[in-house]
Amino acid sequence: MTDSTIITHDVLVVGAGLAGSWAALAAGKEGVTDIGVLSKLHPLRSHSGAAQGGIAAALNNVRPAAGGGPRGPLEAIPPGDEPIDSWELHMFDTIKGSDWLGDQDAIEIMVKEAPEVIYEYEHMGCVFSRLPDGRIAQRRFGGHSTPRANYAADYTGHVLLHTIYEQALRHGVKYYPEWYCLDLIIEDNVCRGVVAMDIISGKLYTMRAKAVMFGTGGYGRAWKITSNATANTGDGVAIAYNAGVPLMDMEFVQFHPTGLYGKGILMSEACRGEGGYLRNSDGDRFMEKYASGLMELAPRDLVSRSEQIEINEGRGVGPDKGGVYLDLTHLGAEKIMSRLPQVRELAHEFLGVDIIHDQVPIQPTAHYSMGGIPANADGQVIADADGTPVVGFYAAGECACVSVHGANRLGTNSLLDASLFGRRAGKAMAAFIKGGAKLHPISGDPARQQEARIQRLMSAPAGSKESVAQIGAELKEAMTNDCGVFRTGQQMTQALQKVKDLQERFPQAQVMDKSRRFNTDLLGAIETEHLLTFAEVVVVSALNREESRGAHSRTDFTKRDDANWLKHTLAFKNGGDGPRLGYKSVNIDWEKYPPQERKY
Ligand SMILES: Cc1cc2nc3c(=O)[nH]c(=O)nc-3n(C[C@H](O)[C@H](O)[C@H](O)COP(=O)(O)OP(=O)(O)OC[C@H]3O[C@@H](n4cnc5c(N)ncnc54)[C@H](O)[C@@H]3O)c2cc1C
């Protein structure tokens, strides 16, 4: 290590999405003055900015109009009128949505603090859509029993992210845009910093910090059809796992019901929140058969499975009959243009369909990672089932598993999760710093180890025919086919074998670009290595869980099995032998919210 390659901060955040930037802002507001945030993308290109539909909080501004029912028009609740929404109802909906795998103490914190977070956004200047009387407008989302999604047309994530980024800058946070984190340094269960690359120069730095937080986002890119941005390669979870931190509940991956057919690009759930229908090749609104109460606004796991059954039974649409239709034509041009302008643009640009006039073909798309780095409600990462803290290491947002979403997340709860737990982690890190946290020494030279890793990647055997892109494509195909909406033991055994074969082939793969400046070929190889690392954890965790719960749906174990499986999975790195699994109990209030059958 030479001095010019060492950077120090009190607080170092990896990730500049809502979780990362909120944490930095909150720590700044609490008086921490030395905060660095690194992001492999420009901060405003983080996937949080792609979120469309809304952010949940029981503000109680809107209710169904008289006689409107679950799908009819909405009206504003006059101030002082009888409330229809409450944190308790938000809590119950979230617990039910999670198929009782969510930790109820963390869920309670989230739903109680949610309105405060929305008003903080508002006071910082966030441009929410409004009711005529000026209060924040709300719409319906799947699995929520009242209109609870606060939104800004269908650009919600975009406006939230801009608000937090500019406020973080105002509080003196130093951003490192286009810096790539390669490694997390933990010794004796104390986090000491990270190794990162300045992508523009290709130079490596050891970044030391008293507290490090990961807000590195989701891992949908391990699947072929996904709504996730190309950057969502689960780097953070793979890096933490390699550093000895366990991963929790990785088998729970949400498939969103409405990805554009063949592309996976998201048609927001707001489409159904605003009244959209799903139809099969016979023109039937098939949700009648699967969730006659909530219909299209049942939770995502259920709707995706219903679509997949229609497709599997031959009532699909599109060239290979692999999709179903999203029908918005009855909403009218005015509503579509004011509430869903981005959705219209996406359908038009990518499939040439104008949703004002035509149905658009869609299919389930890998969307959200319920699992991740285990953390408590203050973002403190834990090292085991007893909750032993990894000193100085925090995680929040989609890369973390708190766990508020359990086996299935409700739409609009994750912008809330990322914002709220990012903010809490920022405050917790500030308290940690003020309490006298130290900069711990680093033994050895982790940056040199990462340099050696890069050299290995750059020097695949001469004449090798393996390509990183091919390995990535085969992985995504296997994960979509054999660890997707429905899974069986036999399919997942096959997927596991495939992942292991690909891991073995990977060292032979060529990185063609041998330069160091902005080498996206090299970064693609590192990201593919990360995909191969955590995909194995996903498949092993899923194969082991012999039940169906939330988004983990096995056709060979079709029932939820609370007697044996009402517990979180913890996967620990175990040398070259694949993950070693352990389990952690779920925090349940047995008096108030005991497990029930999940019906909609
Ligand atoms: C298309 C789409 C629409 C969505 N719509 C909604 C919605 O309407 N409502 C809702 O509640 N949720 C929605 N979600 C989910 C929600 O947007 C995300 O879960 C949430 O924004 C994640 O925030 P985050 O801060 O954890 O991660 P992200 O916003 O993904 O940010 C991750 C950050 O980590 C950085 N990073 C990652 N790896 C590295 C590395 N190795 N080195 C350096 N930096 C790194 C990235 O540069 C980025 O800054 C949607 C998701 C998608 C994909």
> How far lies 211's CA from each of 203, 244, 377, in Å?
23, 17, 16
- Residue 98 is encoded by which pair of tokens? 């999670």
Does this model's pTM top 0.95? My answer is: yes
Q: How far apart are CA 70 and CA 288, in angstroms?
A: 13
Ligand 1 atom at shortest distance from the alpha carbon of 20? 25
d(CA 54, CA 59) in angstroms, rounded, equals 13
Write out residues with Cβ below 6 Å of ligand 1.
14-20, 38-41, 43, 46-48, 50-55, 156-157, 180-181, 215-218, 227-228, 231, 235-236, 266, 268, 368, 397-399, 411-415, 418
Residue 581's closest CA among 567, 573, 570, 592?
570
Gap from CA of 217 to ligand 1 centroid (Å): 5
229 and 546 Cβ atoms separated by less than 8 Å: no
Residue 531 near residue 234, CB atoms below 8 Å: yes
Q: Which string of b and e fits 315-334 if b means at least 16 CB within 10 Å? A: bbbbeeebbbbbbbbebeee
CB 81 within 8 A of CB 63: no
Catalytic residue check, 300: yes
The three-class DSSP label of residue 194 is strand
Q: How would you classify the pairing of strands 389-395 and 203-214?
A: parallel
Testing ligand 1's pocket by substitution, the residue of 21, 22, 38, 46 carrying the most ligand atoms inside 8 A of its CB is 46
Best residue for ligand 1 mutational test, from 7, 37, 47 (most atoms within 8 Å of Cβ): 47
* Residue 248 near residue 429, CB atoms below 8 Å: no
Angle value at C-alpha 558, between 554 and 560, nearest 5 degrees: 105
Residue 554, helix vs strand vs coil: strand
3-state secondary structure of 500: helix
Test site for ligand 1: of 45, 48, 94, 300, most ligand atoms within 8 A of the Cβ: 48
Structure confidence at residue 2 (pLDDT): 57
Nearest to 521 by CA among 202, 308, 226: 202
Beta pairing partners, 203 = 198
- β-pairing, 35-39 vs 380-382, is unpaired
Start-to-end CA span in the chain (Å):
58
User: Residue 3: left (phi > 0), alpha (psi -120 to 50), or beta?
Assistant: alpha
Could you count the other beta carbons within 10 Å of the beta carbon of residue 466? 15
Residue 102 CA to residue 91 CA, distance in Å, equals 10
DSSP code of residue 65: P
Shortest-distance Cα residue to atom 51 of ligand 1? 51
Please give the number of the atom of ligand 1 that sits closest to the Cα of 218: 30
Residue among 140, 208, 279, 300 flagged as catalytic: 300
b/e string for 195-220 if b means 16 or more Cβ within 10 A?
A: bbbbbeeeebbbbbbbbbbbbbbbbb
C-alpha pair distances (Å), 490 with each of 416, 497, 564 = 37, 11, 21
Contacts for 520 with CB less than 8 Å, ≥ 6 apart: 513
Give 332 Cα–ligand 1 centroid separation in angstroms: 31
Distance CA 389, CA 460 (A): 39
Residue pointed to by tokens 């608000």: 163
DSSP states of 390-450: EEEEEE-GGGEE-SSSTTSPPTTHHHHHHHHHHHHHHHHHHHHHHTT-------S-HHHHH
Q: How far is the CA of 357 from the centre of ligand 1 (A)?
A: 32
E strand or H helix at 25, and its extent?
helix 18-29
What is the mean pLDDT, run by run of 10 residues, along the chain of 600 residues?
84 98 98 98 98 96 82 87 95 97 98 98 96 94 94 96 98 98 98 98 98 98 96 98 98 96 93 94 96 91 95 95 96 93 95 97 97 98 97 98 97 98 98 97 95 92 88 97 96 98 95 94 98 98 98 97 98 91 97 94
Whether the Cβ atoms of residue 406 and residue 5 lie closer than 8 Å to each other: no
Q: Which is the closest atom of ligand 1 to the Cα of 181?
A: 42
C-alpha of residue 309 to centroid of ligand 1, in Å: 29
